[in-house]
């Protein structure tokens, strides 16, 4: 693209089934991301609620941002993503982008387990589970990383603390981490065989990373849960959020955190910066 042409950014924000919120305030996130892009000179946005016809949107886009709860690219979408990334595209995934499809487990069909699929390999992360919404500390593990520019050495958030299994650890730069004990929420959320989200030191977990894919790259940040009264599905929250464990009907979590806002700006700058 010439310097006088805007960078086309494609935004995917939505739940499953199509048009549903899947427990997240998608309208709030969509507006917040569009506002952040609007404040960044030289960008032009297109918007979808899922990954259908993804290859058509990627053809004219240099940057992809996703915040989803359920939708995931199919095989054709994954192939288009890989080709696009290798050619220089950049993908910034937030929160539920590392999720996707869950399968029922056992005769009761109440328990569910996440299914590892093709898009997890492309993204480089696979969501296992999370404990109830809680307050926790985020550590900036790589202060010199472009997505960490201007962030404090650590900051506290109230959010869903995602347990993320890295899919390509040897080629992954982890710039955000946290510490959480093994099996932090027995009986809560999704079933998993074993906790594969703990890093080799036995205590640290990845919350944000980048990985290069050909001439392009992927960035992922696990933070970002939010809900409103009409889409809240949280049964309860940790007492670090509410002393009685009662779920706030309106919850913005990390989206109201100054460090997270800086992180979003950094991610957009990374996504639209010149390649090469």
Summarised one tens digit per residue, pLDDT across range 18-29 is 999 999 999 999
- CA–CA gap between residue 45 and residue 170 (Å, rounded): 33
CATH of 7-272, one of 3.40.50.880, 3.40.30.10, 3.10.20.30, 3.40.50.720: 3.40.50.880
Among left, alpha and beta (phi > 0; psi -120 to 50; other), residue 46 is beta
pLDDT computed for residue 1 by the predictor: 40
- CA–CA gap between residue 128 and residue 191 (Å, rounded): 8
Residue 11 contacts residue 30 (beta carbons within 8 Å): yes
pLDDT computed for residue 274 by the predictor: 86
Core vs surface per residue 125-164: b (16+ CB within 10 A) or e? bbbbbbbbbbebebebbbeebebbeebeeebebbbbbbbb
Residue-range domain boundaries for the chain:
7-272
pLDDT computed for residue 2 by the predictor: 44
pLDDT computed for residue 106 by the predictor: 79
pLDDT computed for residue 183 by the predictor: 66
Q: Which residues of the chain have pLDDT under 50?
A: 1-2
């Amino acid at each position: 693209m010439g310097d006088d042409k805007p960078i086309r950014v494609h935004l995917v924000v939505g739940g499953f089934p199509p048009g549903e919120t899947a427990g997240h305030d998608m309208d709030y996130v969509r507006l917040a991301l569009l506002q952040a892009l609007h404040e960044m000179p030289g960008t032009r946005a297109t918007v979808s609620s899922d990954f259908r016809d993804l290859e058509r949107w990627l053809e004219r886009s240099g940057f992809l941002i996703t915040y989803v709860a359920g939708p995931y690219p199919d095989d054709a979408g994954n192939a288009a993503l890989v080709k696009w990334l290798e050619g220089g595209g950049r993908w910034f995934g937030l929160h539920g982008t590392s999720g996707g499809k869950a399968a029922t487990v056992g005769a009761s069909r109440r328990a569910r387990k996440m299914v590892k699929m093709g898009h997890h390999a492309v993204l480089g992360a696979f969501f296992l589970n999370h404990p109830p919404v809680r307050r926790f500390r985020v550590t900036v593990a790589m202060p010199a990383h472009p997505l960490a520019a201007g962030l404090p050495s650590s900051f506290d958030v109230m959010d869903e603390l995602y347990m993320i299994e890295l899919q390509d650890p040897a080629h992954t730069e982890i710039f955000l981490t946290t510490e959480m004990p093994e099996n932090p929420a027995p009986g809560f959320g999704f079933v998993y065989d074993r906790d594969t989200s703990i890093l080799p030191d036995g205590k640290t977990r990845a919350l944000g990373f980048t990985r290069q894919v050909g001439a392009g790259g992927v960035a992922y940040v696990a933070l970002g849960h939010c809900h409103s009264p009409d889409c809240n599905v949280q049964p309860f929250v940790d007492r670090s959020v509410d002393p009685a464990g009662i779920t706030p009907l309106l919850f913005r979590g990390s989206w109201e955190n100054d460090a997270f806002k800086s992180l979003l700006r950094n991610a957009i700058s990374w996504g639209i910066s010149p390649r090469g």
